């Protein structure tokens, strides 16, 4: 298995905030703390991309990760 250095987080006021090393962990953090957007920083880079948005009780992917 390849060593992935992606970092997942939430988007708050247009700013990415690191929360987890897994997408599932970031979604859990977002759900428990009232956030609706989850993002990823590929290879711990500077650019973050939104990967999921919460609509109702479901997470909907916005890009393929």
Q: How confident is the model at residue 61 (pLDDT cuts 50, 70, 90)?
A: very high
Phi, psi angle pair for 34, to nearest 5°: 80, 25
Distance of alpha carbon 55 from the chain centroid: 15
The position carrying tokens 């428990």 is 32
- Dihedral (CA of 6, 9, 14, 15) sign: negative
Q: How confident is the model at residue 4 (pLDDT cuts 50, 70, 90)?
A: confident
Are the beta carbons of 48 and 9 closer than 8 angstroms? yes
- Give residue 45's pLDDT: 86
pTM, 2 dp: 0.86
Domain boundaries, the chain: 7-58
Are the beta carbons of 7 and 26 closer than 8 angstroms? no
């Amino acid at each position: 298995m390849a060593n992935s250095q992606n970092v997942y987080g939430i988007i708050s006021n247009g700013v990415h905030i690191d929360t987890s090393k897994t997408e599932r962990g970031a979604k859990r953090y977002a759900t428990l703390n009232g956030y609706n957007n989850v993002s990823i920083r590929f290879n711990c880079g500077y650019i973050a991309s939104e990967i999921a948005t919460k609509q109702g009780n479901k997470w909907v992917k916005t890009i393929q990760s």
